[in-house]
Amino acid sequence: MAYSGGLDSHCLIHALTCLAPELPALIAVHVDHGLNAASGRWAQHCGSVCAQLQVPYRSLRVQVQPESGKSLEAMARTARYGVLAQVIEPGEVLLTAHHQDDQAETMLLQLLRGAGPRGLAAMPFLAPFHAGYLARPLLDYSRSDLLVYARTAGLSWVEDDSNMDPRYDRNYLRHKVFPLLLDRWPATSTTLTRAAVHQAEAASLLEFLATQDLPAVVGARPDTLQISALLALGSMRARNLLRHWIRSNGYEIPSAAKLEQILTEAAASRWDATPQITWAGVELRRYRDLLYLMSPLSSLPAPDWQLEWNNLGAPLRLPWGILTAQQTFGEGLAGSACAQGVTVRLRQGGERLRLAGNTHNRPLKDFWQVAGIPPWERIRTPLLFLGEELASVPGIGLSHRFQAQPGEIGWEFEWLRLDDRCVSMRSKS
């Protein structure tokens, strides 16, 4: 369990040790953010409590560097869960001491940020968490319930003075807003928690709808969507599907304004346009009737860049991908032609290729257009030259002049792109 040493987590670890014979083995993990001068004493306090309760204890330290324009609370939370994720083994459960008041505060914060049903659902009792699960067993109990429990059990806990600082949004709600709400509506926390359950149900239904819509809209790759099919859903279902698709690909969901921009600028642009929309750590691009979702593409070297690949048996690692070669017989580039090594270059324009079995040289761009390769992938695809002649293009094919003959040793090449979720392209006969 996550053990901060505060009131909430002390109540949880005490209650769990009382139930120890009925529970699996318990380990307490304390995360020291180093943001408070007293954090070292808190870690020692947690260690002492765990020793008294005979609970195995680990203290982990994380570094949180404040960044302009970013919430220190959010950065600390991200760092905390990041290090906790590293200690969770498959099938294990991370327990946290979030309670009913935390749930109500979270929902109100999400409401003030304009969140939809998924955000307003706040914190679930149980959710997948990296290799295991995250559980919050105290969500039905208020802070006042825990305070009564702690005093009855004679517990002592640490107090983080930053929890009183109203500059932080959650503290402002807790100390300025909620007292007024509770004075007028005493059941505020219970009511907001119940509303969060309703929002969770609505979010589940929207998620189910998106899973039903996705198969008819997703492209050949999971990081692509067919624009015509997306627009046919109508704006509300399209936005719902976009959120699900982006999230299922492991990216952060954009703001409502960005979602609208995707529909009005990217999806509704001309068929031959290549618009690009970006948000935190994500790029969305259009090519023809497809939307492509990806991490920001890395920069490329100068157009005249080239690299000699003399040992085809060893992968050639580039900043944006990996080239590998596999030895074959009667297929791929002839081994004799590759004996002096292969030169790897990027597209400069004007390249031509006559594929094995064809009778004419054609511009490389024609092959890429027929294959539906987007422009940003073309300029990142390594071209394999023998001397000054283009010999092989991953995903397209190889030159008829260098094709291995039956029974002859050959080489087949594979290009693994790292910029957009490891898409693989082969070059063979």
Cα maximum dimension of the chain: 90
Distance separating alpha carbons of residues 42 and 372, to the nearest angstrom: 59
- Where residue 422 falls among pLDDT bands split at 50, 70, 90? very low
One-letter identity of residue 327: Q
Identify the domain boundary among 246, 274, 294.
294
Residue 174 in any domain: the answer is yes
In a shared domain, residues 289 and 363: no
- Where residue 265 falls among pLDDT bands split at 50, 70, 90? confident
Proportion of the chain in helix, strand, coil states, percent, rounded to 5: 40, 20, 40
Is pLDDT larger for residue 201 or for residue 423?
201
- Is 425's pLDDT higher than 60? no
Mean pLDDT, rounded, for 31-37? 84
Number of domains in the chain: 3
Mean pLDDT, rounded, for 295-301? 88
Identify the domain boundary among 259, 294, 329.
294
Residue whose tokens read 């001309």: 270
Count other Cβ atoms within 10 Å, centred on residue 398.
Answer: 29
Residue 240 in any domain: the answer is yes
CATH number, domain of 146, equals 3.40.50.620
- Is 62's pLDDT higher than 50? yes
- Is 316's pLDDT higher than 50? yes
Q: What is the pLDDT of residue 69?
A: 63
In a shared domain, residues 334 and 258: no
- Is 420's pLDDT higher than 80? no
DSSP letters spanning 1-39: -B--SSHHHHHHHHHHHHTGGGS----EEEEE-S-STTH
Min mean pLDDT across 19-23, 24-28, 165-169, 232-236 is at: 19-23
Order of all β-strands in the sheet with 224-226: 224-226, 290-294, 282-287, 276-279
Q: What long-range pairs does 174-179 form, CB within 8 A, spacing at least 24? A: 174/101, 174/105, 177/108, 178/101, 178/104, 178/105
Identify the domain boundary among 271, 294, 317.
294
DSSP-derived letter for residue 403 is B
In a shared domain, residues 233 and 108: no
Residue whose tokens read 């909430």: 8
Min mean pLDDT across 98-102, 141-145, 233-237, 392-396 is at: 392-396
In a shared domain, residues 259 and 180: no
One-letter identity of residue 189: S
Mean pLDDT, rounded, for 364-392? 92
In a shared domain, residues 174 and 224: no
Residue whose tokens read 């100390």: 175
Q: Quote the percentage of the chain above a pLDDT of 70.
A: 96
Over the chain, what is the mean pLDDT?
A: 90
- pLDDT tens-place string over residues 148-159: 999 999 999 998
In a shared domain, residues 55 and 185: yes
- Where residue 35 falls among pLDDT bands split at 50, 70, 90? confident
Residue 201 in any domain: the answer is no
In a shared domain, residues 165 and 73: yes
**Is 108 strand, coil or helix?**
helix
In a shared domain, residues 58 and 167: yes
Distance separating alpha carbons of residues 118 and 204, to the nearest angstrom: 8
How much is the pTM?
Answer: 0.81
Distance separating alpha carbons of residues 330 and 334, to the nearest angstrom: 8
In a shared domain, residues 316 and 389: yes
Q: What is the pLDDT of residue 298?
A: 83
Take residue 72 and report the two structure tokens written for it: 């220190």
Contacts of 153 (CB under 8 A, 6+ apart): 11, 14
Residue 211 in any domain: the answer is no
Mean pLDDT, rounded, for 336-345? 90
Mean pLDDT, rounded, for 367-371? 91
- Is 423's pLDDT higher than 60? no
Q: Are 104 and 192 in contact (CB under 8 A)?
A: yes
- pLDDT tens-place string over residues 186-212: 999 999 999 999 999 999 999 999 999
- Is 75's pLDDT higher than 90? no
Residue 34 in any domain: the answer is yes
- Is 359's pLDDT higher than 80? no
Q: What is the pLDDT of residue 72?
A: 78
In a shared domain, residues 317 and 378: yes
Helices (H), 249-293: 256-261
Burial code (b: 16+ CB inside 10 Å, e: under 16) for 116-137 equals bbbbbbbbbeeeebbebebbbb
Take residue 196 and report the two structure tokens written for it: 């969060």
Distance separating alpha carbons of residues 207 and 214, to the nearest angstrom: 10
- Is 395's pLDDT higher than 80? yes
Q: Are 341 and 310 in contact (CB under 8 A)?
A: yes
Residue whose tokens read 């003030």: 112
Strand stretches in 33-92, DSSP E: 57-61
- Determine the structural domain holding residue 270 and report its residue range: 218-294
Q: What is the pLDDT of residue 68?
A: 66
- Is 421's pLDDT higher than 60? no
Q: Please return the burial class of 385, using the count of CB atoms within 10 Å of its CB with bins 0-12, 13-18 and 19+.
A: middle
